[in-house]
A and B are shown apart, each in its own frame.
Chain A
Amino acid sequence: MRNNRRDWIVGSGRGLAGIAFAGLLSGNDRAFCSAQESSDPLAPRPGHHAPKADRIVFIYSTGGVSHVDTWDYKPKLYQDHGNKITATRWLNKPGAFERYLIKPRWTFSQHGRSGTWVSALFPNLATCVDDLCVLNAMVCDSDGHDKGTLAAHTGSAQFARPSHGAWVSYGLGTVNQNLPSFVVLAPNPPYAGAQCWGSDFLPGCHQGTHVIPGDQPLAHLKPRVSNLAQQTLELELLEKFNARAVRNSPLDPMLEARMRSFQTAFGMQIQAPEAFDLTSETQATLDMYGLERGQTKGFGWQCLIARRLAERGVRFIELIDTGSNSAENWDSHGNMQDHERLAKMIDRPICGLLQDLKARGMLERTLVVWTTEFGRTPFHQTADHPGREHHNLVFSSWMAGGGVKGGVVYGESDEYGIEPAVGQVHTHDLHATMLHCAGLDHERLTYRHAGRDYRLTDVAGRVVQEVLL
């Protein structure tokens, strides 16, 4: 009679998941399962070409981060502050609008060997610029929060479509079956809610798993029986019955997949809490992220968990900064001073994440992307207006690691940061580039649905070759 979990797991030994757990329980953190069976939609699969990035960390700052106050340095905007210009769009309407230029409240300076300009809002991230590829001529299709956010996540500002993480999971599967392939760490949902990590018409296993920072990161992870030994007994009997059902139904492989998934789930009970448990992190590491010991929320927590998930083979990790409540996010209509508080919340954690990944030799195989739904207007109705409005004609994002050049600024906006001048990168282009780094060709990563082959990039998208290593 076997009465502890190790016996159950080793004894069951059917399929590689079981073996992986033997490894897991003997203390090996990296419990990688190799391809198990073609019927498993999450089994790791090769992409279209050799990837530069094994995983993607996608950081999303909600609300619309002003480009001219952060990454896009416009000296002329300071000089011509208060001057009248004619804007071609205002509050989502085309036309001719007399507006006044407004200078940023923060100064810019050059950093790193590359001399990349960064505003005083990001003193810590400024030390990372030699690893960053800043995109200063981003454009997107909508200046509405919900539509812009959907476009950034699904490629469509209009219709429900699968999210980028779901596409990557669908294209590549995942190496660690003990954790979801696509994890979204978000204290509050962004605009458009769960559609941002939905799988839509892709199989449901590719949807993002929403982790709300706190004590119970994943649902149903805690056993509800008296102890693990009891649960092991249950699972042993279940496996006995299931194995018989599998023998009696050799033609229906789903049954075996289901049997195996219980083993995996049992493994998740152990490994997932461990992935979210920061007790083994050193004080130095916690400091790097600006975290207090015992803290289980905040952006530093999200960033450090992201590193731990990356280490454990999660394919796509998204970190959502703030959420759809405009009083708390980057939607600074009323007062741009709010940007300072918001920048402070993410500056050190993201810098910590980049440094930590780099120190562990993971950055070059991890693509980190930071973006937002759109920028903010460099102008307003009066010269002394304290806020800025939505601006999707041009804005800033950045990428780092994972096959992207560091210390580079790609794309320029015009002299005031109103429209792209050169090197325009559309949301579709950013997606195409992300997929490319992960080893996927955005034109070939398709799914047949309702008579059409759908893509993350719809019928557009260009890999921004200029920024690739």
Chain B
Amino acid sequence: MSKRFQSIFVSRFLLALGLLASHFCLVRCLGQDSEASLREADFFESRIRPILVEHCQECHSLATQKSSGGLLLDSREGWHKGGDSGAVIVPNKPAESLLVRAVRHGDGVSPMPPTDSGRRLSESQVQDLEAWILRGAYDPRQQAPRLGGMDAEQARLWWAFQPIKSIEPPAVMHPEWVWNPIDRFIVAKLEAQRVDPVLPASKQAWLRRVTLDLTGMVPTPEQIDVYMADDTPNANETIVDRLLASYEHAERYGRHWLDVARYADTAGDGADYPVREAYKYRDWVIRAIHRNKPWDQFLREQIAGDLYAQDLFKQGLGDGKTDALEEYSDLVTATGFLAIGKRYGYAPNTDFQHLDFADVIDSIGRSVLGLSIGCARCHDHKYDPISMQDYYGLYGILQSTRWAFPGGEEHKRPANFPPLLPPQQVRQLEEQRDSQLRELDASIQAAQVQRSKLDPSFHAGGIDLDLEAQEIGKPPSKAWLSAGPNQVTAESQSPFEHIFGQGSRGVRIGSGTPHEGVRYVFAQKAKLIDKPLFFTIDFRIPKSADGSQDPDGSCRLYLGRGVIESTAIECSITKNQFAIKDAGQWKVIGSLETDKWYHLQLKLDPGDMTYSGGIYGLEFYAQVPKVALPTNWDRIADTFICDGFGHGSSGVITRELDNVGLDTEAFAPFGSAPFVRPSKTPAGQEAIASLDQQIKALESQRANIATQVLYPVAYGVGEAESVDARIQLRGEPSKLDQEVPRGYLAVLGGHRVDPTGGQSGRRDLAQWLTDSSRPLAARVFVNRLWHWHFGKGLVSTTSDFGLRGSDPSHPELLEYLAGRFMESGWDVRALHRLIVLSRTYHLASYSSDSNDPLSAHKALELDPENRLLWRHTKRPMDAESLRDSILSICGLLDRNVPKEHPFPPVDSWGFTIHNPFHGVYDSMHRSVYLMQQRNRKNAYLSLFDGADPNLSVDERKPTTTPTQSLFLMNSPLVHRASESLATRLIESRQDQSSRLQELYKITLGRFPSDQEQQECLDFMRVYSGQEASIALGDTELKTWSALCRVLMTSNSFLYID
């Protein structure tokens, strides 16, 4: 009986037991209780249970795996808990019970059974239900305690969750078949099945296999010579150690992990923004493997590296030792694992974050634990013991994390990338820059003030608002932005002349929608740091057109950074009131009249972060009392807006504005003498021109400093404010249910993040995932490594160790390897060594000569899929191995680690879903370094079944298609490579035969047989004859190129024996 059948059997059995138990309970109840109880039980069994079974449970029961609307009606707990719309039965109150409304087809509920089922309860059935509820809804059906999709008891017993057992390799009948402990497990099983393994592969075949496996490239002729000449007993060990220590090995196995980690170089949002820093994570993975970082640490750093980096910093990294700084940078980079998934948003907000998180949770689950946790997003897992509580417990951890934003359609610049320097150094650098910028700003402002004093056409005090230059009869334009029925008019000129002098026009803003109005963005951001800021404006509310009645509505004056991004001051004006926003509340501070001009002056004080001032008019004054500036204002004022979001009754009022000014120096007080503009002089003009030049130079200097890269950053994560997440019913963030404390899967211990710790919980998570008392991470990894070596894991579903996953073919071997792996301190290299030096790994794929054909026949019949490992299964080279091998044999491969991808400069990024990023960068580097987009696949990699970077990939599924063969026949790569190889052969060797020997060694790792040699010579004779007859260039080169092509596209090249 297979394990799956066993578990089905067990669950059936438990179900039967459950039924028995409930009957037993019923009987016992009867013994104790009164006749009333008997009547209730009777009523339920005879009237209610049949209705539920016949009409409801098809869609609302665990037995049918359906809980439509989140509701179960197969147990009392089911309806107690209720569905997405809440409780459905209120005992004693049929009228308040949703169930009754639904079966009565009442308003506001979905009719049940659904109308398209064509069924409807009879009136008497409905009355029975009502009577049952009225009598208290007696229901003897008890649910077995559950965890996600599994009976809780059963879940605890699931093999993958058991602690790792200490296993001794079994004794075998054929000890001569055993080279190391792995072989004992394999041989024992073969013996039990009476299957003989095939003989070991030839030396050359094994060398080619192990080299391709460990480095992703064919062995070089030199490597072959050295190995073939080495007849010491340790020849295999020597070669394996050399391969494992090579950087090529790290690149190869790094790529394996990058499949699982869903690596790509773009964000995968609609516009597919490039991620310039993605490669740092890729290179970190490769470096970590090259250093043989213990696997548990490797995993932990990818979850919480930034936190370990902080520890490092606290331990006194401050003195800036280079090694420590490098380690700091590496640890932060490692968290790229979390950040690198497909992104769904357009701006750094939370609109689509639930989808980003779904990707992260799913990827952590599959890659580290071999569990499909992502399935519990919308409902409890259907099969595995994972509940929505589990999912949202992890979700909270991610929500308490700060995520690098790669850029997107709405917000086109990357943001929140964690620095690769410790905070103190980052602060220093930033402060340095800020002070440089502050100095420059001050110089720019000083020059502007100076300029304004010389320029007669300059109207707006410190910063030019240029209303006076606008055209009468039109909405204000340029520098100003206008929406709605607005007009510059002569009538809207303010009568006050003490600041701007005599003017000729102002702006009249009509009553459109609240969003409409005027906006002015100041050329320089004014910052309230040490000096005060001053703001002034004149305004009037005109009477309605015919002058008969006072208009209704209000308008708002806004000063702050951006379009209501960070607010400093908000005032509101109606026909008779002036109000200011104080601590979020409108506060009326003065009475106004229509048709009268008022003058407002405010002073913003950086000392106590308040503002105050006054409203002045002819025979009018109202004080603006000291009001605290909003605490969340970032002290930058660069935008003035007048829109319709004021206080008072709804609607927008028509208003007139003039003489707007913002300055770092105080404006002339109300009542001072009229300001007189300087007159135009040649000397003044010259001075202005020189100032303009000065300002321009300063501004460009400022832009340079402002956009300078201060310190390197990574595409990773950091800490954010810690929060617990609420369950999202059906996975929809708008349907929030109860809050779940941050924590770990219940079935693996259900640990909770300490809520008082003020941390996201990633540190805990990293620990839980790799804690040696919890066996999944080690089991999943040793199985993955086995899969990478053999093409199939001992558990063939390498990222699914749950109920739907496959059973281990050699459970004891898996236990043994996992145990040994943990004992070794999660030493990956030792595990590689153990596997590739086993006799099992050394077996031939098939050999017609040296095997007993009868035995092979039997093995094939018994085990066609080779699950018992009686031979080595041939595998095609994957996309990367194929390209890297072709490039390497023809000498075109660039073995250096390349620099970052040549993405367009970030200032030019304007990608949208309409015009997404697309890049193709030629490269002669190893394929792991090719730029890979999420939304536009790399054509070559996708042709040869490369990993889809949009999800965690545990297994490449090789296909054999004619379009691949077309590539091998006609692609520029293969032709260029074959010509290059041919040139090398022709140049390095004189005679045909030695060239052939070399060609076979380079491509296939062996020498040609006599027959093959003859076939090649025959081919060349005919080919060159034909080639010469059409006389198209170098016949010898063309002929040898053709032969090289044949060999590098032949089965013996493409498949790993």
Asked if A160 and B951 sit within 8 Å, CB to CB, the answer is yes
What 1/0 flags go to B998-1018 for Cβ under 8 Å of A? 000000000000001001100
Asked if A221 and B962 sit within 8 Å, CB to CB, the answer is no
Asked if B969 and A452 sit within 8 Å, CB to CB, the answer is no
Closest to A206 in B: B959
Q: How far is the CB of A142 from chain B (nearest CB, A)?
A: 11
Chain B CB within 8 A of A106 CB: no
Chain B residues with CB under 8 A of A246: 1051
Q: How far is the CB of B622 from chain A (nearest CB, A)?
A: 36
A160-B343 Cα distance, complex, nearest whole Å: 11
Asked if A193 and B272 sit within 8 Å, CB to CB, the answer is yes
Asked if A249 and B935 sit within 8 Å, CB to CB, the answer is no
A237-B1045 Cα distance, complex, nearest whole Å: 11
Closest to A242 in B: B1051
Asked if B804 and A241 sit within 8 Å, CB to CB, the answer is no
Asked if B384 and A1 sit within 8 Å, CB to CB, the answer is no
Chain A residues with CB under 8 A of B762: none
Asked if A252 and B845 sit within 8 Å, CB to CB, the answer is yes
CB within 8 Å for A233 and B1022 given contacts A254-B876, A258-B965:
yes
Chain A CB within 8 A of B166 CB: no
What 1/0 flags go to B816-845 for Cβ under 8 Å of A? 000000000000000000000000000001
Asked if A264 and B965 sit within 8 Å, CB to CB, the answer is yes
CB within 8 Å for A234 and B1045 given contacts A193-B935, A325-B914:
yes
Asked if B846 and A249 sit within 8 Å, CB to CB, the answer is yes
Asked if B270 and A220 sit within 8 Å, CB to CB, the answer is no
Q: How far is the CB of B679 from chain A (nearest CB, A)?
A: 48
Asked if B1054 and A231 sit within 8 Å, CB to CB, the answer is no
> Which of A198, A248, A258, A326 lies in contact with B914, CB distance below 8 A?
A326
CB within 8 Å for A265 and B1052 given contacts A204-B945, A452-B804:
no
> Which of A191, A240, A247, A268 lies in contact with B962, CB distance below 8 A?
A268
Chain B CB within 8 A of A195 CB: yes
CB within 8 Å for A252 and B951 given contacts A158-B344, A209-B963:
no
Chain A residues with CB under 8 A of B1019: 233, 237
Chain B CB within 8 A of A251 CB: yes
What 1/0 flags go to B268-303 for Cβ under 8 Å of A? 011010000000000000000000000000000000
Closest to A98 in B: B513
Asked if A452 and B372 sit within 8 Å, CB to CB, the answer is yes
Chain B CB within 8 A of A468 CB: no
Asked if B916 and A324 sit within 8 Å, CB to CB, the answer is yes
A92-B800 Cα distance, complex, nearest whole Å: 37
Chain B CB within 8 A of A226 CB: yes
Chain A residues with CB under 8 A of B1051: 241-242, 245-246, 255, 258-259
Chain A CB within 8 A of B355 CB: yes
What 1/0 flags go to A322-365 for Cβ under 8 Å of B? 00111100010000000000000000000000000000000000
Chain B residues with CB under 8 A of A41: 959
Asked if B966 and A451 sit within 8 Å, CB to CB, the answer is no
Chain B CB within 8 A of A419 CB: no
Closest to B856 in A: A251
Q: How far is the CB of B947 from chain A (nearest CB, A)?
A: 10
**Which of B120-128, B624-632, B1026-1034 forms part of the interface with chain A?**
B1026-1034
Chain A residues with CB under 8 A of B270: 144-147, 191-192
CB within 8 Å for A231 and B846 given contacts A158-B355, A258-B1051, A448-B804:
no
Asked if A225 and B1042 sit within 8 Å, CB to CB, the answer is yes
**Which of B326-334, B563-571, B936-944 forms part of the interface with chain A?**
B936-944
CB within 8 Å for A191 and B913 given contacts A224-B975, A450-B366:
yes
Asked if B966 and A204 sit within 8 Å, CB to CB, the answer is no
Q: How many residues of B contact A (CB 8 A)?
A: 86
Closest to B272 in A: A193
Asked if A201 and B1027 sit within 8 Å, CB to CB, the answer is no
Asked if B804 and A265 sit within 8 Å, CB to CB, the answer is no
What 1/0 flags go to B1034-1045 for Cβ under 8 Å of A? 000010001101
Chain A CB within 8 A of B964 CB: yes
Chain B residues with CB under 8 A of A229: 1026
Specify which of B359, B972, B1043, B1046 lies most central, judged by the most chain A CB atoms within 10 Å of its CB: B1046
Asked if A224 and B936 sit within 8 Å, CB to CB, the answer is no
Chain A residues with CB under 8 A of B359: 159
A178-B958 Cα distance, complex, nearest whole Å: 20
What 1/0 flags go to A216-245 for Cβ under 8 Å of B? 001111111111011101110110111001
Chain B CB within 8 A of A110 CB: no
Chain A residues with CB under 8 A of B477: none
Chain A CB within 8 A of B646 CB: no
> Which of A247, A325, A451 lies in contact with B797, CB distance below 8 A?
A451
A223-B974 Cα distance, complex, nearest whole Å: 12
CB within 8 Å for A230 and B948 given contacts A194-B935, A259-B1051, A262-B969:
no
Closest to B958 in A: A254
Chain B residues with CB under 8 A of A64: none
Closest to B804 in A: A451
CB within 8 Å for A241 and B969 given contacts A201-B948, A204-B957, A258-B1054:
no
A252-B1054 Cα distance, complex, nearest whole Å: 13
Chain A residues with CB under 8 A of B914: 145, 191, 324-327, 331
CB within 8 Å for A249 and B845 given contacts A1-B1022, A229-B1026, A450-B372:
yes
Chain A CB within 8 A of B4 CB: no
CB within 8 Å for A242 and B962 given contacts A224-B975, A233-B1019, A248-B848:
no
A-B contact pairs, 22 of them (CB 8 A): A159-B355, A159-B358, A159-B359, A177-B962, A194-B935, A204-B961, A219-B971, A233-B1019, A233-B1026, A237-B1016, A237-B1043, A238-B1049, A241-B1012, A249-B874, A250-B846, A254-B876, A262-B962, A266-B969, A268-B966, A324-B915, A451-B375, A451-B797
Q: Which 9 A-B pairs have the closest CB atoms?
A: A146-B270, A160-B950, A265-B965, A205-B959, A264-B962, A245-B1051, A193-B935, A451-B804, A451-B800
Known: A159-B359, A233-B1022. 19 other contacts (CB 8 A): A1-B1022, A145-B914, A159-B355, A194-B937, A205-B959, A220-B963, A237-B1016, A238-B1049, A241-B1047, A245-B1051, A249-B874, A250-B846, A251-B846, A254-B1055, A255-B1051, A257-B960, A269-B970, A325-B915, A450-B800
